[in-house]
Chain A
Amino acid sequence: LGSARREIVVARTLQPGLLAALLFAGALAHAQQSLVPTRSLAFGSFVAGTGGTVTVSPSGARSRSGGVALLSSPASAASFTFSDTDPAKANSVCIISLPPDGSVALTGDSGSMPLTGFTSNPSNTAVMSGGTLQFSVGATLNVGAHQPSGNYSGTVPITVEYQ
């Protein structure tokens, strides 16, 4: 009886220390890295015509091919900020992973348009500067012949990891 009671006492005194360690670990993992989108990938407005492509470069320049007619409208490349508060990672090499062709599409009420040719600037292997990496992502939107009119939207998954 006497030994069982002592065991409980010991366990109780050590528990707060363990709890603090777990909380610290959680806070550390959370504060170290962040990947934040700072601008969305916008292809603007256009008329589909006989179909073609609309390309937005990582610098945000918009171009077209085929029967697509671009209309005056805001277009932009997506941009992201990856940062790490760990001083040891200040100048680390990162790998930016972009979606493979056709894995992402913009969808509307009565149709969809696949995205291909994702490119980033800097390109897929980039070096952090002072613990921060800013990069932009462009892509090509594939527009069908007489693509149904309307608003289209989608999400583009981007992954950053250390080499």
Chain B
Amino acid sequence: MFVKSIARRPLQLALLASFAAAAIAPSHAANTITATSSAKVFVPISISSTGSLVFGNIAAGTAVGTVIVTTAGTASKTGGVTLPAGGSPSAALFTITGEKGAGYTIDTTATTDLIKGSDSMPLALITDFTGTGGATTAASNVATGTIDATSGDQVLHVGGILSVAASQVPGTYAGTVSVAVNYQ
């Protein structure tokens, strides 16, 4: 009997201690957790001109006409215009560089007519990414692009449709093809 009572007491104390720990520990414990956080810094988008849109030599007629340079750089005409040899027509090229795989918008509204003093010829653009030049109207122009996931750039080919008035005043006409790009 004597031995038994000694053995019990230390164990009972241990039992109480464990309950006390259970009751106190949670109410004073600080709960710490980590949340993940993220951000993505894009490569700045930029555009550079690597070729001009050239219509070459045009002879105005007695009727209105148009000169079309496709995105492949091939010139053709409609109406009263003729195209004398020479002048090396070409499509404009723009290289857009930015975040690989990112989408962007294309804005060409700041493009101007071709002018010579007070005379002018309205210019509309034809755009694509292939430069294959199938289109002769602005109907299938590209409004958005995607930076190539491997090279990190994309080339925009720009042709144009130039409206030539009957007996358009001779001379050298020049304007600005303006392309603005922005991430979507």
Residues of A within 8 A of B (CB): 3, 6-7, 10-11, 14, 17-18, 21-22, 24-26, 28-29, 32-37, 40-49, 54, 69, 71-73, 78, 80, 82, 86, 89, 97, 104, 106, 108, 113, 115, 137, 139, 141, 143, 147-162
Most chain B CB inside 10 Å of its own CB: which residue of A34, A45, A137: A45
The answer to whether A150 touches B40 (Cβ under 8 A) is yes
Chain B positions within 8 Å of A46 at CB level: 39-42
Interface size on B, residues (CB 8 A): 36
Contacting residue for A25 out of B21, B37, B42, B99, CB 8 A: B21
Indicate if B150 sits at the interface (CB-CB under 8 A). Answer: no
Question: A25-B22, A37-B36, A159-B30 provided; 11 other pairs, C-beta below 8 A?
Answer: A21-B18, A33-B26, A33-B31, A36-B33, A44-B40, A78-B37, A106-B38, A113-B39, A149-B41, A149-B43, A158-B35
The answer to whether A162 touches B41 (Cβ under 8 A) is no
Indicate if B165 sits at the interface (CB-CB under 8 A). Answer: no
The answer to whether B19 touches A25 (Cβ under 8 A) is yes
Complexed CA–CA distance, A141 and B22 (Å) = 41
Given the contacts A11-B11, A14-B8, A21-B18, A40 and B28 also touching, CB distance less than 8 Å:
no
The answer to whether B35 touches A155 (Cβ under 8 A) is yes
Complexed CA–CA distance, A161 and B25 (Å) = 12
The answer to whether B41 touches A148 (Cβ under 8 A) is yes
Chain A positions within 8 Å of B39 at CB level: 42-46, 54, 106, 113, 141, 151-153
Given the contacts A11-B11, A154-B37, A155-B34, A149 and B29 also touching, CB distance less than 8 Å:
no
Cβ-closest 8 pairs across A and B: A25-B22, A43-B39, A35-B31, A41-B37, A161-B30, A155-B34, A78-B35, A45-B40
The answer to whether B41 touches A153 (Cβ under 8 A) is no
The answer to whether A151 touches B40 (Cβ under 8 A) is yes
The answer to whether B35 touches A137 (Cβ under 8 A) is yes
Complexed CA–CA distance, A86 and B19 (Å) = 16
Q: Could you tell me the distance in whole angstroms from the C-beta of B104 to the nearest C-beta in chain A? A: 10
The answer to whether A10 touches B44 (Cβ under 8 A) is no
The answer to whether B38 touches A151 (Cβ under 8 A) is yes
The answer to whether A35 touches B8 (Cβ under 8 A) is no
Complexed CA–CA distance, A49 and B43 (Å) = 9
A-B contact pairs, 10 of them (CB 8 A): A7-B7, A10-B7, A71-B183, A106-B38, A113-B39, A148-B41, A149-B41, A151-B38, A152-B38, A162-B27
